[in-house]
Structure 1
Amino acid sequence: MTASAQQALAALPLGKRPEGRTLLTADWVLAHEGDGHALLRRGEVVMEGGEVVFTGHAFPGEVARRLDFGAALISPGMIDLDALSDLDTTILGIDHFPAWKKGRVWPLSYVENGPYEMYSPEELAFQKRFAFGQLLLNGITTAAPIASLFYREWGETTAEFDAAADAAGDLGLRVFLSPAYRAGGMVLHAPGDMRPHFDEARGLKGLAEAAEYIARQAGRHEGLVQGLLAPDRVETCTAVLLRETFARAEDLGVKVRLHMAQGVMEVETVRKLHGSTAPAWLAQEGLLSERLIAPHATNATEEDQKLYAERGVSIVHCPLVSGRGGSSLNSFSKIRDMGVNIAMGTDTTPPDMLMNLLAGLITGRMNDGAPDRLLTRDLFDAATLGGAKALGRSDLGRLAPGARADIAVFGLDDVSMAPSIDPITTLVTGGSGKVTQAVFVDGRLSMRFGEVAGIDMRAARAQAQAQFDRLIAQYPARTWGHPTVEEIFPPSYPIREARNA
């Protein structure tokens, strides 16, 4: 980036739209032409207010300022439809097995004593603000938040999501959200013996609260906040709750995100409860449609995949989290060729979409047994156009006149990256979220060179660590047999403390 452009960027008010037209240029611009993206060498993007008004070369009009990012790619902002919005507890399961023994399932003794919240209302509000800042640092401009309900009393609350809406407005992040709810949960009755417990009335109450939240919050902060109904997981829902969910979604005009076909425990539980896989069960209930967004599909059978294709269901591919757990989408190219729309999610910290695209490329090619059926552009499309299609928003995920000015700028000259001829291949195979230089959301400058509007990320990181430490200290009460923290989460290697002199 030229020195003059750096000065011009630094002069822009963080968290606000610059006045007048702003022209962005770089060595590469990923614009939208016809049915897909096209690379413009030394292209230009002009935005005014919250909208893109021009993409191409040699803009003929007047502009208030020009920002030349040099060796960079100006791209549509990434869309993350499984964006972690709490402090990441999935990392606790990477080396610690089995899950029931490591505090990942409620023991019966805990349920009988009465579940409780492990976080205060202030901590719940903070962790979403911190997570939203991390998304912006990684070039993500649109997110559908997700969080674990394990450490909750039951579901999420409207109070914490009111705070989340305000955080999205303050930081400048486009969000589709409402509090997650459920009609049941898995309970550990004995070592390895996990059974579902249901309270349908509580689930219906959560749905009503989520619908009220959407009616009240959708459209706030100049449209950055939109609704999405988010029942927790398919095995925690009853048919009544899901039928009511889709009916309310139709009334509200919103999508439904429901995790399914994502793990062995879910598959076994749903078969015991309903005699089929989750997608087949929802098809029998008449609930598979374009309204459904379904992470993760790693355990989807061929029949399930066909049902997704026939009914217009979008899946959310989270290859990094899936791969860490020993599973993968089988396969990206196969499901794509069947006509299933594929969006992307990160579902962990850091929410590094570029890292996820590389993980998706690697696992996809391994499942194909060949390298030529899946290209880097396929993953990039999923993180932009696929997410926009899943949300039903043709004005997102692309840079074209009339689209919202949701833009990420990725540096291509980081010293850790190899020289390249193609910016997409370079970023997917050798980049990371750390090369994100600037992010505009709806025309607002939300992030520049690690500085995020509305939050001091360095101070927030220290606060997050202290909050996480307090969370870990509570794990024994929610773990079978109540072992110590050290027994639940032993270190990778023995720890030796310094001896006193």
Structure 2
Amino acid sequence: MRTLLKASCVVGFDGTSHVFWRNGEVVFSGDRIEFVGHNFPGHVDRTVDYGQAVICPGFIDLDALGDIDSGVLGVDNGSKFENGRLWSEDYIRRGPQDAYTPEEQLFKYRYAFTHLIRNGITTALPITSMYYRAWAEGYDEFTGVAALAGELGLRAYLGPAYMSGTTYARADRTAGQLWDEPRGLAGLDEALRFFKDFDGAHGGLVRGMFAPDRIETCTPELLVRTAAASRELDAPVRLHCCQSAYEFETVLRLRGTTPLGWLEGLGLLNTRAVLPHGIYLSGHPQVAEKGDADWQRLIACGASVAHCPEVFIRSGEALDSFGRYRAAGINLGLGTDTWPPDLLQNMRTGLYAARLLEKSAGQTSMADLFNAATLGGAKALRRDDLGRLAPGAQADIVVFDLTAPHLGPVFDPLKNLFLAGRGTDCRASYIAGRCVMEDLAVVGVDIPALQAQADRQFEKLLANQRARRFDDTQQQRLVRPVFPWAGEI
């Protein structure tokens, strides 16, 4: 079936950059786009006119929230050493446990994938918290995640997260490292098995990746084997890196080099690497190592940085700066990482943070952030058929409504969305030519029932976080309200 979509604005691709088509058309059949422009000359089986709307390529989320987010519990709730965000020595002594049953683990992905689609995201590399696990993820769980991506129609790069260790809180409220290398290597074996069984599954919607959890929780052997698997299978590796001063100094102490220096030595710093968040490099004012060696490594290697501005700006941190990285030729994509899974909001936050740090509005533009959410993500995945509306590209197409009152008078479709829009202004989504959302509703999903289950599971998440605290903090309030509740102590 050949389908024609039309709207007051279409964001097409001319082979070099995105361009606007006024009152444009997009035609696709099967999973491929055939035409973008005006007055398609051929026969079509179905026409959908979205009116005052913008049709654009689906967003690519390189660090996609795949969870019922626990990161929000770190906002103005005190030290992670006291509030249970980290495992405590007491919790390790009692024995770590999964917060959720296997069925509940799968549900959190259903909840997250639904909201990714709802926010105009068509390709996702999901990330979830390991703090609520007995250890990490596994093959059996991800067979269910892959089936779920196929059911909902989300294009997903998947692989169970694995790790050799975890950071924990000592009794003196300092950070320590707990290691179990055999468990990490077993996790890599499961990830390798998953890749071989599921890369290309569900008509190509599911692709494999390797997802070691954090650089500071990996041993050399684990990363050497990851690098070999990535090389052999030509597979992407998504590894959280350069995201905190603690991580930087821990790697420097344990491995004798910076995080990027270590990855370079292990053979992991290359075009297959996707690195959230790329902030703390040598020369950063909060780390001990001076000089620009890491900066030169990042420029030379071809790795991509998954920029997640929203989650960092909450704690007063930011990439310094988006425009500087882009001007140096470093490929930048975007990620959500936290609730809400809204890349439009991350574009806006990223734009404002960049301009504040650059002390100018001239170095970073709205187009730069939009490109990161589309073309930058596609480049990170080495996919020239994603992130653009052009003949031959995948029919990953989203429609943003422009009639909502909060958008104000429309003067430029993307500027209106940047200044006042939100991801949930997405009205329709097509992934690989399949309509997965129409009229603001994800196909086949009962949103009230989904939310009710998420609320129940969030209570279990809270209970698990309370259990992770030290025994002497068990009775303290976990969530600090913005203002005190009247009548309560």
Q: TM-score, normalised by structure 2?
A: 0.95
Task: State which of 224, 231, 234 in structure 1 corresponds to 2:212.
Answer: 231
1:6 maps to none
Task: State which of 454, 459, 463 in structure 1 corresponds to 2:449.
Answer: 459
The superposition leaves residues 127-159 of structure 1 with CA deviations (integer Å, 9 ceiling, x where unpaired) of 101100000000000000000100101111222
Is 1:347 the equivalent of 2:328? no
Q: Which amino acid aligns with 1:76?
A: P
1:285 maps to 266
Distance 1:486 1:459, change over 3 A: farther
Aligned pairs for 1:97-496 (under 5 A) are: 97-301=78-282, 302-484=292-474, 486-496=476-486
Q: Which amino acid aligns with 1:478?
A: R
Tell me if the contact between 1:306 and 1:338 (Cα under 8 Å) persists in the aligned partners.
no
Shift of the alpha carbon at 1:90? 0.5
The superposition leaves residues 88-112 of structure 1 with CA deviations (integer Å, 9 ceiling, x where unpaired) of 0011000112111111111122223
Structure 2: distance between partners of 1:307 and 1:419: 46
Gaps of 5+ in 2: 283-291
Residue 43 of structure 1 aligns to a residue whose secondary structure is strand
Structure 2: distance between partners of 1:482 and 1:118: 21
Shift of the alpha carbon at 1:486? 4.8
Residue 376 of structure 2 aligns to a residue whose secondary structure is helix
Structure 2: distance between partners of 1:58 and 1:497: 67
Shift of the alpha carbon at 1:201? 1.4
Residue 117 of structure 2 aligns to a residue whose secondary structure is helix
Shift of the alpha carbon at 1:476? 2.5
Shift of the alpha carbon at 1:455? 2.4
Shift of the alpha carbon at 1:482? 4.9
The superposition leaves residues 478-497 of structure 1 with CA deviations (integer Å, 9 ceiling, x where unpaired) of 11235236523232222237
Structure 2: distance between partners of 1:259 and 1:359: 21
- Stretch moving more, 157-166 or 116-125: 157-166
The superposition leaves residues 164-211 of structure 1 with CA deviations (integer Å, 9 ceiling, x where unpaired) of 111111111000011000001112222331111222111111001001
2:5 maps to 24
Q: Which amino acid aligns with 2:339?
A: T
The superposition leaves residues 202-254 of structure 1 with CA deviations (integer Å, 9 ceiling, x where unpaired) of 11110010010111112111111110100000000111111100111122221
Structure 2: distance between partners of 1:482 and 1:21: 65
Tell me if the contact between 1:320 and 1:356 (Cα under 8 Å) persists in the aligned partners.
yes
Q: Which amino acid aligns with 2:461?
A: L
Shift of the alpha carbon at 1:420? 3.2
**What is the percent sequence identity of the aligned residues?**
44
The superposition leaves residues 434-492 of structure 1 with CA deviations (integer Å, 9 ceiling, x where unpaired) of 21000000000001123212421221011101110122123232112352365232322
Structure 2: distance between partners of 1:486 and 1:122: 31
Tell me if the contact between 1:47 and 1:443 (Cα under 8 Å) persists in the aligned partners.
yes
Q: Which amino acid aligns with 2:393?
A: A
Residue 144 of structure 2 aligns to a residue whose secondary structure is helix
Distance 1:133 1:288, change over 3 A: same
Q: Which amino acid aligns with 2:480?
A: P
Residue 27 of structure 1 aligns to a residue whose secondary structure is strand
Tell me if the contact between 1:101 and 1:488 (Cα under 8 Å) persists in the aligned partners.
no
Task: State which of 61, 65, 90 in structure 1 corresponds to 2:71.
Answer: 90
Residue 407 of structure 2 aligns to a residue whose secondary structure is coil
- Stretch moving more, 424-433 or 134-143: 424-433
Residue 81 of structure 2 aligns to a residue whose secondary structure is helix
Residue 288 of structure 1 aligns to a residue whose secondary structure is coil
Aligned residues: 479
Shift of the alpha carbon at 1:348? 1.0
Structure 1: distance between partners of 2:17 and 2:329: 16
Residue 477 of structure 2 aligns to a residue whose secondary structure is helix
1:57 maps to 38
Structure 1: distance between partners of 2:487 and 2:2: 59
Tell me if the contact between 2:234 and 2:272 (Cα under 8 Å) persists in the aligned partners.
no
Tell me if the contact between 1:294 and 1:314 (Cα under 8 Å) persists in the aligned partners.
yes
Task: State which of 22, 31, 55 in structure 2 corresponds to 1:74.
Answer: 55
Structure 2: distance between partners of 1:151 and 1:252: 31
Tell me if the contact between 2:227 and 2:266 (Cα under 8 Å) persists in the aligned partners.
no
Shift of the alpha carbon at 1:64? 0.8
2:285 maps to none
Q: Which amino acid aligns with 2:148?
A: A
Shift of the alpha carbon at 1:308? 1.3
Gaps of 5+ in 1: 1-19
Distance 1:366 1:268, change over 3 A: same
Residue 45 of structure 1 aligns to a residue whose secondary structure is strand
CA RMSD of aligned residues (A): 1.4
Shift of the alpha carbon at 1:411? 1.1
Q: Which amino acid aligns with 1:320?
A: E
- Stretch moving more, 419-428 or 461-470: 419-428
